[in-house]
Amino acid sequence: MSEAPLVTEQRGAVLIISINDAPWNRMSAAFMDQLEVLVDEIAVDETIRAVVLTGAGDQNFSVGMNLKEIGSAVAAKSGTDGFFDQRWRVIRAIETMGKPWIATFFGNCLGGGLELPLGCQFRLAAEEGCAIGLPEMDLGTVPAWGGSARLPRVVGRTHAIDLILRAKKISGPEAFRIGLANEVWPLAELKDRAIKLAEELAAQPRLAVKHMLDALMSVEGKTLDQSLADERAAVHATSGTPDAREGIMAFLEKRKPVFNHG
């Protein structure tokens, strides 16, 4: 296996990113530096329309930050704020770039191993062997990569309080039950299913996906009128495009549309 902190593979319009530190897949400082560069590249690469975020091997998605290097990593970023600002910046870029990201939960998905997927639009979980949570309370501290801000938006305040204050680790089926995971699959099928979902999303009309994600990912904190205005802006931006014309023609001709060629 390569010693690079992450490895990528592009399959058509889908990019697969693997945290490359099996079996634990710790999110090292080098991993975060490389991911930050990669996220910026993905945002402007029109050949990539969906991303799968996973971990190398089949034991753990990620146990989160490598605690052994936290001192040197903080020093390299000129202090605690610089260190955590980078993580906020990367996760925010993922959730606002207008391209769907799919994360895979398997094995341990702890700390940053949950906070990074919280910035993704889809999360698929293994039905066996998952331990998903924010265990920072057990370390005498609190989530610091945006977990306490995003988790209530995904699962509701009641579940978020329960998970964070009790440092709970939940299974894949439980994550699905509370809305943290979109789907649950046997571990042996999980990564293939994530790729298949990414291929499905990548085949959707690119511009329409982007504008809908822009609207949907910013809906919290807005009034209904503001969200309706966002939807109307998306309508104007996608009306009359080659994909819109293709979708209408395919409907009239009773065939499956083929998008993203215009």
Residues that are catalytic? 115, 136
Provide the strand spans (E) within the chain.
6-11, 14-19, 50-55, 101-105, 108-110, 122-126, 131-133, 169-170, 183-185
Helix (H, G, I), strand (E, B) or coil at 11: strand
DSSP 229: H
Please state, in angstroms and rounded to a whole number, the distance separating the CA atoms of residues 125 and 73.
30
Please state, in angstroms and rounded to a whole number, the distance separating the CA atoms of residues 187 and 22.
16
Chain centroid, CA 257 distance in Å: 27
The backbone torsions φ and ψ at residue 137, rounded to the nearest 5 degrees and listed phi first, read: -60, -35
Which class for 1: exposed (0-12), middle (13-18), buried (19 or more C-beta within 10 A)? exposed
